Amino acid sequence: MFGSIGLPELLLIFVIALLLFGPRKLPDIGKSLGKAMGEFRRASTDLQRSLEEEVAADELRAARREVEDATKPVPPTEPSAPTEGAPPQPTEPK
């Protein structure tokens, strides 16, 4: 949870905070610190969620572009073989 901070380090931090702020202010400081950590965690979660949504939207736009490109009408070309009912095409002598 705290990375490489172990129990002895936490106790040292607690004793220093107790000496600096006194026993009366320590609960208020802890509450404020907890609220700040919660807000930071919420903000980072919201940022991560919005980035994931944006990436998903970009992927959706790219897929939609591919589908639109694939469904574009193909320009008509001259038939290579005569179709039924069509008169034969004249050929030029060589």
Domain ranges of the chain: 24-71
Q: Is the pLDDT of residue 2 over 70?
A: no
Given this model, what pLDDT does residue 92 score? 73
Entry pTM: 0.50
The encoded tokens of residue 54 equal 């944006």
The 3-state DSSP composition of the chain as helix, strand, coil percent (nearest 5) reads: 70, 0, 30
- Give tens-digit pLDDT for 33-89: 999 999 999 999 999 999 999 999 999 999 999 998 888 887 777 766 656 666 666
Whole-number pLDDT of residue 39: 97
